[in-house]
Amino acid sequence: MLSRWFSNLFILLHILVHIFRCIGMLLRHRIIGGPQWHYGEKGKEAIRRWMDRMRQILNVDIEIDGQPSRQTVLLVANHLSWLDIIVLSSVYPYVFLAKHEIKRWPIVGFMSSISGTLFIRRASVRSLKQSVDDIRDTLAQGRSVAIFPEGTTTRGNELLPFKNGLFDAAISSSVAIQPVAIQYVRRGKQDKAATYAEDDHFLVSIFKQIREGALTTRLTFLDEIPAAENRRSLAEQSQERIARFLFPTR
């Protein structure tokens, strides 16, 4: 029991050290490369490597089915946890759209902002329009953007209706949508301890992951959906493909 406690403490300290190393890395790249440093190949690879190392420290493995597109796409995923961003970033340098509240989180907010994350105020129509413009501009520069159209996280036993507003960015940019299904598995079973939903607290969620140990993330990249003129149809098709994979018997 005592050895397990020390092991968990070591992992926590390793996480903190890695975070502060990341802050130094981000500041260095920002000073050398300017505000858009994360658009360059060196910047994208630096973020991917940092995220991949964080994934390893957290004892999270990845199983990939299908092929993440190497073309510019709007990636659309179900949302289970803050781990979603770490895992997807380990695979490919996506730009993420996050809720505006994250921008105010200590350390995490700073790291997200300086690394190019886009933010949205979920209850604001004006913010939605700005986010569509931001995503369209990012796609136009050849960067794939990842969104979570449910608008919140779940425990993995349901898929909430996809909000369709952000799909306008794909239509106006003429880029395809690629749905991806995310699942967390621990000891051979679907794992809910890795999810971050409802009234969970961020630090508690981190401690829970450290305590529970080895976790596997299954990423299933589904066929791309060509951009169309109907954002509602794009949202429904994306949701249907992910739901059909996650809940085949429903």
- Tokens (6 digits) for 193: 């301890």
Place of tokens 């390793």: 14
**The domain spanning residue 159 has which CATH number?**
3.40.1130
The pLDDT score that the predictor gives to residue 109 is: 74
CA dihedral 190→208→150→137, nearest 10 degrees, is -120
Residue 183's pLDDT band, with cuts at 50, 70 and 90, is very high
Model confidence over 43-77: pLDDT tens digits?
889 889 999 999 999 999 999 999 999 899 999 99
Q: How high is the mean pLDDT of the chain?
A: 90
4 vs 11, 81, 96, 205, 210, CA distance in Å?
Answer: 11, 25, 35, 18, 10
Structural domain containing residue 176: 2-246
- Give the separation between CA 182 and CA 216, rounded to whole angstroms: 11
More confident site: 105 or 69: 69
The pLDDT score that the predictor gives to residue 121 is: 76
The pLDDT score that the predictor gives to residue 123 is: 67
At residue 234, does pLDDT exceed 70?
Answer: yes
Model confidence over 203-226: pLDDT tens digits?
888 889 999 989 999 999 999 999
The pLDDT score that the predictor gives to residue 74 is: 98
The pLDDT score that the predictor gives to residue 198 is: 74
User: How many separate domains does the chain show?
Assistant: 1
- Tokens (6 digits) for 110: 């700073």
Model confidence over 138-149: pLDDT tens digits?
999 999 999 999
The pLDDT score that the predictor gives to residue 36 is: 84
The pLDDT score that the predictor gives to residue 250 is: 73
The pLDDT score that the predictor gives to residue 128 is: 87
At residue 125, does pLDDT exceed 80?
Answer: no
